[in-house]
Amino acid sequence: MQSLLNTHLPQIYRELGADFSERVLPSIGNEVLKSVVAQYNASELLSKRAEVSARIKREIEKRGEHFNLIFDDVAITHLNFMPEYVKAIEAKQVAQQNAEKQKYVVLKAEQERQAAVIRSEGEAESAELLTRAIERYGEGIIEVQRIDAAREIAGTLAGARNVTYLPGGGAGGPQLLMQVDR
């Protein structure tokens, strides 16, 4: 992690001792970390991580010069936050997700409302066209629609496996549909 200037080795040994890496380096690290980190709020420490790391590296190198130490590399590998801060970040993320969900719900409701308006307009236009057709051609158009509806219903029932049709006994007699569970 550190390299020593060969010309300063005897001086480092005399002034700092053989265990300088255990005594000096932690104090330099703590001192610099505290001074740099104190200049940022917690969210900036996350969002400006590269800037903070570069600044810590410069300050450690600068502080190491006082002890004739040269650092080859300085890396910030782990940041810990208080549990309250972590919970606050999580709560903020959940709130943002809920806000996005609510936007989606509102948008969906608006689209459903627009679809209902369009459907109602279509049904109104259909009723108007049907009224004109009845006025122009008489009740025959209604009979055609009834036949079309009966065909559609018969097709649906014919495809159902648990429905049985029992025709009535003659013209206009009662007819019976039975649901048979198998």
Q: How far apart are the first and last CA of the chain?
A: 80
Residue 8 DSSP one-character state? G
pLDDT tens for residues 38-47? 888 877 877 7
Phi-psi map region of 170: left, alpha, beta (phi>0 left; psi -120 to 50 alpha): left
**pLDDT at residue 43, as a whole number:** 75
Residues of the chain with pLDDT under 50: 1-4
**pLDDT at residue 4, as a whole number:** 47
**pLDDT at residue 140, as a whole number:** 80
**pLDDT at residue 1, as a whole number:** 42
- Number of other CB atoms surrounding residue 60 within 10 Å: 21
The ranges assigned to domains in the chain are 2-80, 85-165
**pLDDT at residue 159, as a whole number:** 78
Contact 174, 168 (CB under 8 A): yes
Token pair, residue 15, equals 């002034």
Read off the pTM. 0.42
